[in-house]
Amino acid sequence: MVQVDRGEHLSSGEWLDLNRAYWESRDPSRPDPLLAATAPSEEEEGGRVLHLQSGDGSRSLVRAKRGAEVIGVDFSMPAVRRARALAADLGLTGRSRFLCANVYELRHMLPEPDSFGLVATSRSALSWLPDLDEWARIIEWFVEPGGTLTLDPTVGEPVVDADVRRFDHPTDRIVDALERAGLEVSDSAPGVAIVASKRL
């Protein structure tokens, strides 16, 4: 596990620069490896969804196609541009919006506390984040009372770039961080989605 100096600023630093460079150098023609884990469904869903580390937006747009209002966030501008283009191609710009932001600065860029019935992200996305406690506080800030966080258990492709900084967050530490932030964890077994909710 990479140790992060507590003085290292979460809005900048080597961890962010190296990871952003890695993601922005990826071949955009490659499909999102996590998309296969989210099979399209005809099931209707409404409400507002915040999708953190949304990449090319394909998974976010599955929810928009089902009727949700979705905001996807990623720190890679090329990924955000691809997401916006895909939303336009699918005619979903009225139900989706994509922002380029570092998740640790998102409260300043999207000042909408208690506004999302669902905040979604993936386990593999967490491995790019150095501060789990601050991430959990951000989740709690955005989830509306009675709303839910779903943390998809899918792990993406292994990263072989030695310059990329990854952070190991075992399930028990994720659960502890969410509970310290005030969320109630209902499912957390290894290999299954972590589901947490905000009390009414």
Spatial separation of the C-alpha atoms in residues 156 and 47, rounded to whole Å: 27
Spatial separation of the C-alpha atoms in residues 98 and 77, rounded to whole Å: 10
CB atoms within 10 A of CB 120: 24
**3-state DSSP percent of the chain in helix, strand and coil, to 5:** 35, 20, 45
Q: Residue 38: is its pLDDT beyond 50?
A: no
Q: Assess contact for 178 and 185: CB atoms under 8 A.
A: yes
Beta bridge partner(s), residue 51: 72, 120
Query: Does the global pTM surpass 0.75?
Result: yes
96-145 confidence digits (pLDDT tens) = 999 999 999 999 999 999 999 999 998 888 888 889 999 999 999 999 99
Residue 171's nearest CA partner among 148, 149, 187, 159 is 187
- Rounded to the nearest 10 degrees, how much is the dihedral formed by the CA atoms of 63, 68, 71, 76? 10
Q: Please state which of the ranges 3-7, 26-30, 109-113 shows the lowest mean pLDDT.
A: 3-7
The pair of structure tokens assigned to 114 is 């208690």
139-196 confidence digits (pLDDT tens) = 999 999 999 999 988 755 544 445 555 667 788 999 999 999 999 998 776 666 889 9
Domains along the sequence of the chain with CATH: 14-24+45-197 (3.40.50.150)
